[in-house]
Structures are given as C-alpha cells and as structure tokens.
Amino acid sequence: MNNYVVDFPVLNSKVYIRPRVWGLTGDSEETRIQSSPIDNATKCSFGDCLIIFASEIYYRQEGVDALHIYAISSAVPKEYTDTLGSIKIKITELDTYEELRNYAAKQALLKASVLEEK
C-alpha cells in the first residue's frame, strides 16, 4: 500500500494520504486523507478524515496551510470537511480520468495512486 505525507512545517502539521483497492474482485477503491497517520481499521469520521472514492488523485500544497486536491467528480462525496486539523482543504472536480490526468500534467501536480510510478 502506498502512503504519502504532505508536510506543513510552519504549522508543525502533516497530511497523510493512502489510496487503496480492496474486495474480493478488487472493485472497491478509496483514497483516505487524514491529519493523523492512517489506520484502515479505524472508521473515518467527518472532520478528521476525508475519503475520495477513487484509487488515484492529484494534489498540490498551497501556501503554508492549504492542500488542494484534484479528483474526478464522481469520486468526491457530496459533503466533505474543508479542514483537516489546521490544514485547509480545497477540492477541484474534473469529469473524467483523462481530463484529470491532462490537467495534472499541465499543472505539474503530485499524484497519489495505488500503482507504483516507474
């Protein structure tokens, strides 16, 4: 399982990102984003955790206190927290994975995915 950590040193905070795929046929997917280290056995509660229902997202740290997440719109929950700990969260939704990947390439975004990059 791939784990990503975004460090916000001025605030002495971190955001943890873990994409995963599971299930008998591997058709359940999520990317969990939290302000504390991720333990999949612990239930995600509103305000402490954000779940994007996709195995791939893109992100960018903005300023000293914000994380901007980019994901396909069908994977973003209708209601989500706009902060994780002291970190502000902003989400940009795109319609398809192709549109998301093209946008990410143009903007030099970082990728969090279950697949290892080569």
SS3 70: strand
85 lies in which domain range?
A: 4-113
What's the chain's average pLDDT?
Answer: 90
Q: Is residue 87 part of a domain?
A: yes
- Terminal-residue alpha carbon distance, the chain: 16
The residue assigned the tokens 């995963």 is 20
Q: Is residue 118 part of a domain?
A: no
Q: Is residue 74 part of a domain?
A: yes
What's the sign of the alpha-carbon dihedral 6, 34, 83, 69?
positive
Domain count, the chain: 1
> Using one digit for the tens of pLDDT, what is the confidence trace for 47-68?
789 999 999 999 999 999 999 9
- CA–CA separation, 97 and 95 (whole Å): 7
Whole-prediction pTM: 0.90
Closest listed residue to residue 90, CA positions, set 114, 110, 111, 71: 71
Q: Is residue 35 part of a domain?
A: yes
**pLDDT at 117 (0 to 100):** 63
> Using one digit for the tens of pLDDT, what is the confidence trace for 16-49?
999 998 888 877 899 999 998 888 777 777 778 9
Q: Is residue 51 part of a domain?
A: yes
